[in-house]
Structure 1
Amino acid sequence: MHTLQRQPQPQAAFLLHSRPYQEHKLLVELLTAEDGKVAAVIYAGKSAKSNKKALLQPFLPLTVTLKGKSQLKSLQTIEANGKSLLLSGEPLYCSFYVNELLVRLLPEQVPCPWLFERYQQTLLCLAEQGVDQQALRQFELALLEELGIGLDFFALQSIQTDTVSFNLDSGFTEPLSSLPTYSKTALLAIASGEFNDKANLYTAKTLMRNIINQLLGNKPLNSRSLFDKK
């Protein structure tokens, strides 16, 4: 008796990265609503004006259908699901930064619908309000939680010192000479969602950068160089 195979269903997606792959094909990395981050191959056509190539742009809401049982999928259908978000200057650089974080750190084919929603909200915020440090920090926190590195801010209450360190293995600890230190007061404010204070935002940015650098190892993010060239 043959079992019926479930037909691939269309789903919302965004392009994170693309590069040439064999003749007239592209290898793309997508963030999808149902399947998380997915690598797929698409036949883009011979013409530089191919409709598929025109759709394969970052920050354009898409609807895609993916086919295949292996890790590398085939991008069966693709169409626009809205207007491309208008990003330029520093908001554009921040959006490239968000995309690169996902490409570098998010595992393949692990559903993360909540992170997909946060990604959409972050891009929309950058497009409508310009650079928003609070939105970026909240996205980074959401990504860390998806990676299993949720920050246990409650642990701060049992630490008696005014400053603390953070270790990927043990979380927040009393100050360690081998690690950066952070204001416990600022961290408790961040835990309560109080990002408006400049000191709190600076603490959050420094903490996120140090944690992400540890996760990246010795391979820096290319998108950060865009800010250096500004």
Structure 2
Amino acid sequence: MSNIQIEQHAFVLHSRPFKENQQLVELLTENEGKVSALVYVGQSKRSIKKGMIQSFLPLKLIYKGNDSGLKRISVIESTGNSYALSKNRLYCGFYINELLVRLLTNDIVCDGLFQQYQLTLGSLANNLPIAPQLRQFELSLLAELGLSFDFSPVLSNTSDNIVGFYYIADEGFVPAYNYSIANISTPWFKIAHLRAIAHHIIHGAALEQHEAEQTFKLLMRNVINHLLDGKPLNSRKLFEKR
């Protein structure tokens, strides 16, 4: 990559101290996806740049790229107020940030996901119901990773012997037969719940049943855990400690 200056709108996903009064930051940028960059913040506790390195604050910055893939930020400024998140909604913000850090590859354009990220933060800050916002963000992230659900086995099923479906990574929905579920420990999902989720994703229909929302949450957790190779998310521990 040539050593040219690039201007970007961005959000800080994660940061940590680096040598010589620098911070190493993981950013979600509008036009280049996830980016790793260094920013010199100086020694002063009142450093303006240091004050900008915070989550959920919309930024405009200029950085220089180089062949190693690590950028150096020269200009950083806010373009608006930080999204005000607290309690569970703050934990949700940390959750989506951690998903992006852990699952996105650097320097891959994902402008649609950037827009969805802003929409999700705005919805959380405006106290809209949490679960639908997280599921929509997770779906957008999966789409960016080239993944989607094929509900055709669920929607086309007419057998009385099938009581639900398992979701197997890399295989999709597999029938759960009424004569075998007592001997299998793998969690399975009810057909009615999966059909409601399918209509929600495909047609935008509302998920009116709490049980269907819970199934949707467990289904997404199944997929995300597979993508993480079973490694736990630190942000989930915040919910467990509340």
TM-score scaled to structure 1, two decimals?
Answer: 0.91
Instruction: Report the 3-state secondary structure (helix = DSSP H, G, I; strand = E; otherwise coil) of the residue aligned with 1:138.
Output: helix
Aligned amino acid, residue 198 of structure 1:
H
Per-residue CA deviation, residues 129-167 of structure 1 (Å, 9 max, x unaligned), is 155101101111111111122112234234443311112
- Identify the match of residue 101 of structure 2 among 96, 100, 103: 103
How far is the alpha carbon of 1:7 from its aligned partner?
4.8
Gaps of 5+ in 1: none
Aligned amino acid, residue 60 of structure 1:
L
Corresponding position of 1:188: 195
Q: Does 1:49 align with 2:49?
A: no
How far is the alpha carbon of 1:188 from its aligned partner?
1.9
Instruction: Report the 3-state secondary structure (helix = DSSP H, G, I; strand = E; otherwise coil) of the residue aligned with 1:162.
Output: strand
- Identify the match of residue 69 of structure 2 among 71, 74, 86: 71
- Identify the match of residue 16 of structure 1 among 6, 13, 16: 13
Aligned amino acid, residue 149 of structure 2:
L
Aligned amino acid, residue 163 of structure 2:
D
Corresponding position of 1:226: 238
How far is the alpha carbon of 1:196 from its aligned partner?
3.0
How far is the alpha carbon of 1:199 from its aligned partner?
1.4
Corresponding position of 2:134: 136
- Contact 1:66–1:73 (Cα < 8 Å) also in 2: yes
How far is the alpha carbon of 1:178 from its aligned partner?
6.0
Of structures 1 and 2, the larger Rg is shown by 2
Q: Does 1:172 align with 2:179?
A: no
Corresponding position of 1:89: 87
Is the alpha carbon distance of 1:29 and 1:158 closer, same or farther for their aligned partners in structure 2, counting shifts above 3 Å?
same
- Identify the match of residue 157 of structure 1 among 155, 158, 161: 155
Per-residue CA deviation, residues 176-203 of structure 1 (Å, 9 max, x unaligned), is 8463211222122122223232111101
CA distance in 2, matches of 1:139, 1:22: 34
Is the alpha carbon distance of 1:178 and 1:107 closer, same or farther for their aligned partners in structure 2, counting shifts above 3 Å?
farther
Runs of 4+ in 1 over 3 A off after TM superposition: 5-9, 176-179
CA distance in 2, matches of 1:123, 1:43: 27
Corresponding position of 1:122: 120
How many aligned positions are there? 226
- Contact 1:91–1:130 (Cα < 8 Å) also in 2: no
Is the alpha carbon distance of 1:8 and 1:21 closer, same or farther for their aligned partners in structure 2, counting shifts above 3 Å?
same
Corresponding position of 2:215: 203
The RMSD of aligned alpha carbons is: 1.8
CA distance in 1, matches of 2:231, 2:150: 27
CA distance in 2, matches of 1:33, 1:204: 29
